[in-house]
Amino acid sequence: MSNILLLNSSGIDSLAVAKKVSRLSTATLHSVYIDVGQLSRVPAKEAALKIAAKYCISHEVMQVFPDDRYHIEYDVGRNIPFLGAAIFMFGAIYARSRDIDFIASGLKNDGVSVEFNEKFLSLLATSKKTKVVIPLRPLQNYSSYEEIIEDIRGDELLPETWSCNRPKKCGECPKCLKRKELSID
């Protein structure tokens, strides 16, 4: 039995990964939401909890900053720089401190070079305990985003997933527009 940690960001990819991994009879799925000050953290944490409640046997929120004073100022609607990289790093530390065999995530390591990403993943994979498997989008074994959606189309949690970087769904960012195009919202 493998212990797998879902880096649960509450989005469509997290739901797809959770559903995919939960089908494996040899895996136990744990979930963590890593709060590094995302503007969307309040609704995202609620959505992450719902995904975890359905598909995971445990869920934790890793709160990086003690309160809002420490949250990074950045343009509304834009991601924190290196958000993906930060979540991967905190996730790897979290996994190593627990009995985790694999890390699963639909997150994309945005904003870093291909070279850095490869070195970073190989560094994490040197851990004796945790083998880091990060399926970048589109998720492993899916050839397109539409295929990801089809796999979770009937899941009642699909409309509950949170994609927008803002604290309220703005309806105009690329993520909100993509959700409208796919008839999720």
Q: Which CB sits closer to Zn ion, 48 or 164?
A: 164
Short-list 49, 9, 161, 158, CA closest to 150:
158
Using CB under 5 A as the binding rule, whether residue 164 contacts Zn ion is answered as yes
Looking at residue 32, what DSSP letter applies? E
Q: Which CB sits closer to Zn ion, 49 or 173?
A: 173
Binding-site residue total for Zn ion (CB under 5 A)?
4
Write the CA distances from 166 to 13, 14, 72, 79, 152, integer angstroms.
18, 18, 14, 9, 24
Contact 132, 124 (CB under 8 A): yes
- Residues numbered 25-44 forming contacts with Zn ion, rule: CB under 5 A: none
Using CB under 5 A as the binding rule, whether residue 182 contacts Zn ion is answered as no
Which of 49, 85, 112, 170 forms a contact with Zn ion (CB under 5 A)? 170
Q: Which CB sits closer to Zn ion, 16 or 176?
A: 176
Q: What contacts 82, CB < 8 A, 6 or more positions away?
A: 110, 111, 112
Q: Which CB sits closer to Zn ion, 121 or 170?
A: 170
Q: What length does the chain have?
A: 185
Please state the closest distance from residue 19 (CB atom) to Zn ion, in A: 24
Which of 173, 178, 182, 184 forms a contact with Zn ion (CB under 5 A)? 173
Continuous segment of H or E residues that includes residue 90? helix 83-96
- Residues contributing to the site for Zn ion (CB under 5 A): 164, 170, 173, 176
